């Protein structure tokens, strides 16, 4: 242990004088991203300081449960996401800092194909732009449009229709391993723009290499009253996979389920 500590310390000291940050990380055989993922492992004799070890990059830092963060996908990469088995979606980055996404609810699509059924398929389409302003700070904006397969909970008091959308600005602070995102935007319905803005807060904290805590919370203002949705859960990470297990709380949505609604899903990078 002591010999290993001395060797790692020697490499770290030598590389610290190698020049720029890029030159130092190259000298250590690390990329800029992997250098940011260094973790402390071996205790120094007589102190609580530790020497570095590495984790693999978080393959799903670009999103939480439903919403994206401002951390962009790399050009040519994307991910497929499945929620509750019947909800399918995918995101892809055709250009640097630009992503497009879309998804559908399988049961509503099948129901809409049955003759004599007055059903609409549920789906969404989205486009997002985001970039790093400086280390630890990302900014972005995204637009989303959706068609609901059933009336929204506030349809009895406000005829908004089943086609809804939003344009939202966002700012992400942190790293791919631990970050928080603030969302602010306005919604749109069949009767025009919403009178009040919508707010969102999401975060992801990877506390061990395979596990992360994830939360996503929204205050939507499509109807006459605010419609808050809160989620929190655990994400299991392994190579390109992210498997989520969480709980969702909203007073209206939870009426038939109890105090909270269970959520489960997974995402796979490609």
Residue extents of the structural domains in the chain: 2-53, 78-269
Question: Tokens representing 198?
Answer: 């919508």
pLDDT, tens digit (0-9, with 9 covering 90-100), for 114-142: 877 667 788 999 999 999 999 999 999 99
- Assign 162 a pLDDT band (cuts: 50, 70, 90): confident
Q: Residue 197 — φ and ψ, nearest 5°? A: -75, 165
Distance CA 61, CA 59 (A): 6
Question: Tokens representing 270?
Answer: 């490609």
**Reduced to 3 states, what is the DSSP secondary structure of residue 66?**
coil
Place of tokens 């242990």: 1
**CATH number of 78-269: 3.40.50.620, 2.40.160.40, 2.60.40.10, 2.30.40.10?**
2.40.160.40
pLDDT of residue 153: 59
Q: Give the helix/strand (H/E) hosting 2.
A: helix 2-16
pLDDT, tens digit (0-9, with 9 covering 90-100), for 4-25: 433 334 334 334 444 444 444 4
DSSP 63: B
Distance CA 270, CA 267 (A): 10
Across the chain, how many H-helices and E-strands are there?
A: 4, 15
Sign of the C-alpha dihedral computed for residues 99, 105, 106 and 109 taken in this order: negative
Q: Residue 64 — φ and ψ, nearest 5°? A: -105, -125
CA-based radius of gyration for the chain: 22
pLDDT, tens digit (0-9, with 9 covering 90-100), for 42-78: 444 444 443 335 788 999 999 999 999 999 999 999 9
What lies within 8 Å, CB to CB, of 33 at 6+ separation is 57, 176
pTM here is 0.76
Nearest to 221 by CA among 164, 180, 260, 181: 164
Q: How far apart, in Å, are the Cα atoms of 37 and each of 177, 204, 259?
A: 8, 15, 38
Place of tokens 């007589």: 46
Least-confidence region, from 82-96, 110-124, 238-252:
110-124
């Amino acid at each position: 242990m002591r010999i290993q500590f001395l060797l790692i310390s020697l490499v770290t000291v030598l590389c610290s004088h190698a020049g720029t940050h890029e030159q130092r990380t190259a000298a250590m055989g690390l990329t800029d991203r992997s250098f940011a993922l260094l973790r402390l492992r071996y205790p120094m004799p007589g102190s609580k300081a530790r020497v570095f070890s590495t984790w693999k990059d978080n393959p799903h830092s670009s999103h939480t449960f439903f919403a994206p963060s401002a951390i962009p996908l790399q050009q040519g990469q994307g991910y497929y996401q499945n929620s509750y088995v019947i909800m399918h979606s995918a995101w892809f980055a055709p250009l640097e800092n630009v992503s497009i996404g879309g998804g559908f609810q399988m049961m509503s699509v099948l129901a809409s194909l049955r003759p004599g059924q007055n059903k609409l398929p549920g789906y969404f389409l989205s486009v997002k732009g985001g970039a790093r302003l400086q280390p630890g700070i990302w900014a972005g904006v995204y637009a989303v449009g959706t068609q609901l397969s059933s009336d929204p909970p506030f349809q009895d008091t406000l005829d908004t229709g089943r086609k809804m959308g939003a344009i939202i600005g966002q700012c992400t602070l942190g790293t791919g391993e631990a970050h928080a995102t603030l969302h602010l935007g306005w919604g749109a319905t069949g009767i025009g723009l919403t009178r009040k803005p919508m707010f969102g807060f999401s975060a992801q904290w990877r506390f061990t290499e395979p596990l992360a805590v994830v939360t996503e919370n929204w205050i939507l203002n499509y109807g006459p009253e605010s419609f808050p949705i809160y989620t929190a859960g655990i994400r299991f990470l392994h190579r390109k996979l992210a498997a989520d297990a969480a709980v969702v709380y909203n007073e209206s949505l939870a009426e038939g389920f109890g105090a909270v609604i269970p959520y489960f899903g997974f995402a796979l990078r490609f």
